[in-house]
């Protein structure tokens, strides 16, 4: 079945550092890909999405490109802030179901 | 987009009791979903709830334990029945307007602790 493998955390960074969270997927079809973020004490929020190969999703300085050849959707941000501290989930949607990765906890220190 | 609210936001319950979680969406949606997020883990889909039909449960989840209602296009409930400490989790409601490239939006979650 469909699955998402996400880089394990936790990840601790200093402010203004570069962040990459790796995500690869296995799917039989052509899924849409998502990054969701969960800030401390809050629910899941959609961060960005891409619906087909070579699409780039972006939001709040975060970017991820749908790479069909490597079945990847890595999340990147060039300069993180303390407010980016959260748990990040990679997910794929095939038909109507979402499959989530394990989540990566990111802590940004001032 | 869709704004989703859940009630209660948290609860502490005794084993053997049941809790019903309510999910309200600010617009009509075709599909609603219930997820469980156990402590420190990812989200697991419990079931899909469509208006006018029985909920569809994922492997490992059964209707007797997690009965779901979907009386209209903006509301759903999930009941956690005969609770045990293993049911302590965050339960999240999600909604989608359907379609091949649609996005699922999530509620804030209900944090359940079973003693």
Under a CB-based contact definition with an 8 Å cutoff, are residues B25 and B2 in contact? yes
Q: How high does pLDDT run on average in chain B?
A: 91
Task: Give the whole-number percent of chain A exceeding pLDDT 90.
Answer: 79
State the nearest Cα–Cα gap between B72 and chain A, in angstroms.
Answer: 19
In B52-71, the residues whose Cβ lies within 8 Å of chain A are none
Range B18-37 average pLDDT: 94
Q: Which residue has the tokens 């469909």?
A: A2
Chain A environment of B100 (Cβ under 8 Å)? 32
Pick from A36, A96, A101: which is nearest to B96 by CB? A96
Dist. CA A64–CA B37, nearest whole Å: 25
Tokens standing for A30? 């052509």
Report CB contact under 8 Å: B101, A45.
Answer: no
Q: Is A70 helix (H, G, I), strand (E, B) or coil?
A: coil
Cβ-based contacts of B98 with chain A (< 8 Å): 96
Peptide bond into B8 cis (omega under 30): yes
The pLDDT score that the predictor gives to residue B80 is: 98
Q: Report CA-CA distances (Å) from A9 to A21, A23, A106, B41.
A: 9, 12, 7, 12
d(CA A77, CA A63): 6
What is the average per-residue pLDDT within A76-84?
A: 97
Higher pLDDT, B38 or A58: A58
| The predicted structure's pLDDT at residue B42 | 86
Please check the confidence at residue B101 and state whether its pLDDT lies above 60.
Answer: no
Q: SS3 of B76, please? A: strand
Measured between beta carbons, the chain B residues lying within 8 angstroms of A97 are 45, 48
Given a cut of 90, whether residue A60 has pLDDT beyond it is yes
pLDDT for A81-104, tens place per residue? 999 999 999 999 877 788 999 999
Q: Given an 8 Å threshold on Cβ–Cβ distance, is A102 in contact with B106?
A: no
- Answer yes or no: is pLDDT of B98 > 70: no
Cβ–Cβ of B106/A45 closer than 8 Å?
yes
The whole-angstrom distance between A15's CA and the closest CA on chain B is: 25
DSSP per position, A43-106: -EEEEEEE-STT-EEEETTEEEE-BTTTTB--EEESS--GGG-EEEEEEEEETTEEEE---EEE
Per-residue b or e along B19-31, where b marks 16 or more CB atoms closer than 10 Å to that residue's CB = bebbbbbeeebeb
Nearest to B107 among A43, A46, A98 (CB): A43
Work out the average pLDDT over B77-100.
Answer: 89
Peptide bond into A10 cis (omega under 30): yes
Residue B103 predicted with pLDDT over 90? no
Are the C-beta atoms of B55 and B31 separated by less than 8 Å?
A: no
Instruction: State whether A32 and B101 contact (CB < 8 Å).
Output: yes
Residue A50: predicted pLDDT: 94
């Amino acid at each position: 079945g469909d699955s998402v493998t996400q880089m394990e955390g936790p990840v601790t960074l200093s402010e203004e550092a570069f962040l990459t969270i790796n995500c690869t997927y296995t799917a039989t079809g052509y899924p849409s890909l998502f990054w969701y973020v969960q800030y401390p004490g809050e629910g899941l929020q959609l961060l960005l999405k891409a619906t087909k190969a070579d699409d780039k999703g972006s939001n709040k300085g975060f970017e991820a490109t749908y790479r069909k050849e490597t079945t990847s959707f890595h999340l990147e941000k060039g300069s993180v802030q303390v407010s980016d501290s959260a748990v990040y989930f990679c997910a794929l949607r095939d038909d109507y179901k979402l499959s989530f990765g394990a989540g990566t906890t990111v802590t940004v220190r001032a | 987009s869709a704004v989703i609210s859940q009630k209660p936001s948290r609860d502490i319950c005794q084993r053997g009791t049941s809790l019903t979680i309510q999910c309200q969406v600010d617009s009509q949606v075709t599909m609603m979903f219930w997820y469980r997020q156990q402590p420190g883990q990812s989200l697991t889909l419990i079931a899909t709830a469509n208006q006018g039909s029985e909920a569809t449960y994922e492997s490992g989840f059964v209707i007797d334990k997690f009965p779901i209602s979907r009386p209209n296009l903006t509301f759903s409930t999930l009941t956690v029945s005969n609770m045990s400490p293993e049911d302590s989790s965050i339960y999240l409601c999600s909604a989608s307007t359907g379609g091949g490239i649609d996005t699922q939006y999530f509620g804030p979650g209900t944090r359940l602790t079973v003693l």
